[in-house]
Structure 1
């Protein structure tokens, strides 16, 4: 009996068989049961909660008018979602979590450099989620913030433990429940039945406008490191264009909708808390509808916390496996998720109540960390290797992709260092060039261009012909995998 078979039998005896069997391993063709039609609603719901509304507060808090905030939101979201959507096509082709695939650009162990940034992203989102929900429910209903935070964490952790299919099911249910609520609210706003006052005319400044673009762009770019985690169960022959368009439409449409809604709440109702603003606007339509709006939005946020936790678990297991080879068992995922849940809960309890400043700073830091990675990864996938990888070698220490791939690491570091003079972290640090530009934040754009260009230049020395034999052998090995068997432990790959 193989190790994987023994693990499945043990899980069944413990009643854990409904927990997803895969984590950082390859998903064979026999298990590819995903549908492109599910990708759009899945990522639509991923942004369909009041965290997104809070992004719409950034511009108005800096004196930007509703119209200019909406324009900046559209520009930022479309730009950021473009990168996210292109990453989604990688999941179906390779059947791997995003960070495992990144071993091709950074090396089997070198990818840990990028994993630190993604770990901050996933934990950061869940910390801010807990702070926002706990503070919002305390403000609306007087509920104990600590108890609320614990309930959120436990629920999200359970979703992540059960994994991919359960996350897709819950996202679909939340999508069905939340869409009518926000539609009613939006119609009420357009017809003047949601309360609010006529605001003083807002203004325009490049600092505020570009700041809103950066916050909006970062919101969906930060999905880039894990979008493939939820498309890797799609059939391998799925057209990349169909995946890209589904994710692009789903993730961008909901984000644009709710960021503009948030800007309206900020300029018309003076909102500074997304959940409280939803509650007040809903009650202006019909008493009690506000509570329904708030709870519906929270359900979507809890589902998204589960998504963050799931990919955070994949990140940690990928990092550990780089130095200490492990079997991606159900036990490993459960233990990892429990540790992560304790970590983000503890951090959230230490956070200040002013969640808007925390939100903006967290998103900005995430953007600086992730933009160089997304540039390197996409250049490699679409321009250099054009989607052709020896998948089995991604599980071999010292394989054809090496342990430390200097090109990817160097490009990433150069991209990140290039952003430092452009940093705009209010209250923390403003780079010298950013000061000269009056505080306008274009660091993320500089990092994107520098990292992508540097990798494109350095990758010209990659011997793609030498990789062809390994790719052919890898495809042959994958075709001979027994039913339900997958990398890494079952193939007895050599270590060297």
Structure 2
């Protein structure tokens, strides 16, 4: 192999305090992950403050609680299905998701979806910083700037320590926050959380319904670029269906729960801020319950920012390595995370907008960018190549996947182009955009569904000319090289 990020060996099987891997392949001797860790990781990934304002979107457009719940359940179901299928790639390949995407887009062509993915990480952490600053100021009167600095440092540290610490911190937060949120929810159900009949007549409209569905679908689709980053330490023998089931259950159940709770807060308590709404409802149930739930929800969101920073680091290193060979050292990880943190903090510090608008705009843009990628990647993995890849060739521009893989790039471009006439981009400052077909449909946004179908069909058609026999020979050679690495690992450990 010609590239320095090709599979490398380790001298010990002991799990290090600070993760040493980044964009390189994880040998079988280091696959210390446990399947049961997946469900709590992704449950808490959505069991935090960001989920609450998603439930505000439908009611802000006049959608009733029931219809907001229906739209959210459908949207989360769709988005989580895509996310969970991506998760199954981690144990099988032992790679970060965007390294695997070199098979569809090429060693350097992967830069195109990498830019879309990097935008996702930055958008999430920028929006999270704004939400936390507004929310903790509203709930506790804390200085938004101090909040932003604190969560940025905490998120960066979690990302630096890496994969195992993300899993550990998420489980700890889940064990503490889950029973308290159950108590709050029971208070809502049995009338102890307060609330009065709404002053406006909430009902149904297809535009509001699709806006809520789209935001909910986008929420978990945006995990797709890095969900396998957190499953790549699972043993390669892990059954894909078990990974899919664990991730789907974890990520969907918590999101549906809190989004519907958010809709109730917006309608019954007239909440305009998620943390403030949680605090008020919980304190109505009994003294200081709301304070505790709000604080834990904020901590969970800060931890999720660490997860985003970790994924952003992998994305940046993959992009750099695609043009200049780098060695994926701990120092490279740390420096990249620090730079990424400075960038998102700097941008967030100049954002002044309402939380609902921030969430809706961020999710919409992320969905438009990621749908063509997820369609291309999943069609390639499950239909075209059926999970068979020459892993070592993903680490060199001279491998069977080439430098610029025109089929994947064309499918991505076609999918995105088909989205444009159907787009409805929420206001960003003084700017917004509604495509001509969306305008003709009264503002109905189905662009992501159109892009999904267009990219999938385009890639299927274009891939009919792939020389899979040539790839099989490269795959066999790659498997032999990886087997040799595993043998050395067994001896060293």
Common fold, TM-score beyond 0.5? yes
1 CA distance for matches of 2:9 and 2:343?
28
CA apart distance, 1:426: 2.5
Secondary structure, in 3 states, of the residue corresponding to 2:320? Answer: helix
1:46 is the counterpart of 2:45? yes
Structure 1 segments unaligned to the other structure (5+ residues): 487-496
The one-character-per-residue Cα deviations of 1:40-82 (angstroms, maximum 9, x if unpaired) are 1110110001210110000000000000000000000000000
Find runs of 4+ consecutive structure 1 residues off by over 3 angstroms: 6-9, 482-486
Aligned to 1:250: 250
Query: Secondary structure, in 3 states, of the residue corresponding to 2:21?
Result: coil
Is 1:317 paired with 2:317?
A: yes
Aligned counterpart, 1:124: 123
- Check conservation: 2:158, 2:165, Cα contact below 8 A: yes
CA distance in 2, matches of 1:397, 1:186: 53
Residue of structure 2 equivalent to 1:270: 270
User: Match for residue 453 of structure 2?
Assistant: 449
Question: Is the CA contact (8 Å cut-off) linking 1:93 and 1:236 kept in structure 2?
Answer: yes
**Residue number in structure 1 paired with 2:83:** 84
- Tell me which of 469, 474, 481 is aligned to 2:473: 469
Contact 1:76 / 1:217 at 8 angstroms: preserved in 2? yes
Asked if the contact 2:184/2:289 (under 8 Å) is kept, the reply is no
Separation (CA, whole Å) in 2 of partners of 1:484 and 1:53 = 49
- Is 1:183 the counterpart of 2:187? The answer is no
**Map of 1:64-83 to 2, 5 A cutoff?**
64-83=63-82
Number of aligned positions between the proteins: 478
1:7: how far off?
Answer: 12
1:100-139 to 2 correspondences below 5 Å:
100-139=99-138
2:22 and 2:340 mapped to 1: Cα distance?
A: 16
State the secondary structure of the residue aligned to 1:140: helix
Post-superposition shift, 1:355?
2.0
How far is 1:353 from its partner? 3.4
**Inter-partner Cα distance in structure 2 for 1:82 and 1:134:** 32
Q: What residue is the counterpart of 2:24 in the other structure?
A: 25
CA 1:240/1:17 → structure 2, altered by over 3 Å: closer, same or farther?
Answer: closer
How far apart are the structure 1 equivalents of 2:472 and 2:270?
Answer: 60
Aligned-partner Cα distance in 2 for 1:426–1:291: 32
Alpha carbons 1:58, 1:211 under 8 Å: kept: yes
Partner of 2:157: 158
Distance in 1 between residues matched to 2:301 and 2:412, nearest whole Å: 31
2:210 is aligned to 210
Residue pair 2:28, 2:486 contacting (<8 A) in 1 also? no
The structure-2 alpha-carbon separation of the partners of 1:379 and 1:7, relative to structure 1 and needing over 3 Å to count, comes to closer
2:376 aligns with 376
* Superposition deviation, residue 17 in structure 1: 5.2
Would you say the 8 A contact 1:8–1:17 is kept in 2? no
Q: How far 1:282 sits from its partner (Å)?
A: 1.1
Match of 2:403 in 1: 403
Tell me the distance in 2 between the aligned counterparts of 1:295 and 1:422.
Answer: 39
Q: Distance in 2 between matches of 1:294 and 1:265?
A: 13
Q: 1:97 to 1:476 in 2, by over 3 A?
A: same
CA contact (8 A) 1:53 1:258 kept: yes
Q: Displacement, 1:289?
A: 1.6
Contact 2:44 2:174 in 1 (8 A): yes
- Work out the CA distance in 2 between the residues paired with 1:7 and 1:484: 8
1:230 maps to 2:230: yes
1:332-381 per-position Cα deviation (integer Å, ceiling 9, x unaligned): 00000000000000011111131211210110000000000000000000
Of residues 437, 454, 476 in structure 2, which corresponds to 1:433? 437
Tell whether the 8 Å contact from 2:57 to 2:360 is kept in structure 1 after alignment: yes
